[in-house]
Amino acid sequence: MDTFFEMRKFIANNANLLQRVDNLEQKQIESDIKHIETHTKLDQVLDIIEEKKVILNVKFLILNCEFRRVS
């Protein structure tokens, strides 16, 4: 029974500290989520850039071939 009262006293005396730790954990989780979202968006942008690069390379090759054929 004394252990229960000691634990209750500890929690009451450290409630502010426990709340701060909980807030830090929540902020860390939110930061991790934002990091994942940012990473995903960056991957999407880089994929689009790569696709555009490939399309431009193909168009260049087609134009180059047509130019050689006409010349």
| Cβ atoms of 18 and 11 closer than 8 Å | yes
Write out the residue range of the structural domain in which residue 24 sits: 2-70
| pLDDT recorded at residue 15 | 92
- Whole-model pTM over 0.75: no
Q: How many CB atoms lie within 10 A of CB 39?
A: 10
> pLDDT averaged over consecutive 10-residue blocks of the chain (71 residues)?
89 92 97 96 95 88 79 64
pLDDT at 71 (0 to 100): 64
What is the number of structural domains in the chain? 1
Buried-state track 8-19, b at ≥16 Cβ within 10 A, e below 16? eeeeeeeeeeee
Question: How wide is the angle at C-alpha 67 spanned by C-alphas 64 and 69, nearest 5°?
Answer: 110
